[in-house]
Amino acid sequence: MTPFRRQLFVELVPGVAHAMAGSYRRAILFFIPAVYLVWGVGWSLVLIVAGHAGAADFQIFELGSALAAVLWIVMSINGLRQIEPRRRPLSISAKGGLTILGIPGITLAAGVLAQLLWERTVGADPVLRAAMQAFFRQLYLAGSTQRSVYLSFAPNMVLGWGGAMMAMLAAMAWQAGGGRAAIARAAIVGFVGGAISWTVCATALAGVLGSLPLLPVLFGSVTGLFVFLYFRNAGASPLLVPAIMSGAVAGFAGMIFLTQPLNSIRPFLGSGATRIVMVALPAYFMHFAYLVVSRALSAPGGSTSGGNDAYRRAGERL
């Protein structure tokens, strides 16, 4: 097994690195809460699919999934530090902290601007607006299964997620040291991928399970997998998937605390204020989670990625 494949295996299977380092006690301490979280998430999912779930079951599924993802990341990174003593503890300078907090703001702004552009162009033309709404209505009806609750997702959210993912992937490509062509390609792929990911999750995937509260976990997982597959040749870690998923859950959950602020800006943005925030806030936290994990995975003392470590070196730029 090559060093790069070994590291991927260690990251995909939490606890393996602890076993390799002989830290069985620490692995057991990690697995106790992990088993509890997986059991809770699995049982709540069974109830949801069977149609016997209450409001608490949806909350358990979302919160449990996010906590399990965070625990997976912590277990894997802690295990890597057990078998690679040269890895220094995670430390972020003031400049790095501002970078981690500031760069996702570009993603947030792109998602907002894309939706505002829609409102000022297509939304201002009643005929074009009606035509686009009819198109997406048929698309949602074709993708959902016997339910039409997802028709509430306006077309501007598709464009918003396209803009947010465009900025996110372009920033990731820049962070990994890509040139102008690589950044432009990442931006184009990000826009298409973001629009498709949201459309698929809002119709086919979410429709199969039949519940809106499951959307953050589904969309975050699909987006994380998309980002990982795009950057895998640059040494991207599979830990991106749980990181971005947990960021999506945190972003959607954060809307609970924005009820009053949304009411204050609604006169300026109209009824689209909620939809704009439903893109902007999750996009920010998804990108933020990516940057934190990227920094934690950087190995200043030496990487085991077999030379294919452009992605892992990117964390040191923070």
pLDDT of residue 182: 92
Q: Residues 224, 208: contact at Cβ < 8 Å?
A: no
Q: What is the pLDDT of residues 183-194, one digit of tens each?
A: 999 999 999 999
Cα(294)–Cα(239) distance, integer angstroms: 9
pLDDT of residue 151: 45
Domain regions of the chain by residue span: 1-87, 93-316
Per-residue pLDDT of the chain (318 residues; tens, 9 = 90+): 566 677 677 788 777 777 777 777 877 888 888 888 989 888 888 887 777 777 788 888 888 999 999 998 988 888 877 777 655 556 666 666 787 888 999 999 998 898 888 777 766 667 776 776 677 666 666 655 444 444 445 677 888 999 999 999 999 999 888 889 999 999 999 999 999 988 888 776 555 555 667 888 989 999 999 999 999 888 788 899 999 999 999 998 887 777 666 666 666 655 567 778 889 899 999 999 999 988 888 744 334 343 345 445 444 455
pLDDT of residue 123: 61
Cα(99)–Cα(10) distance, integer angstroms: 29
Cα(211)–Cα(63) distance, integer angstroms: 16
Read off the pTM: 0.81
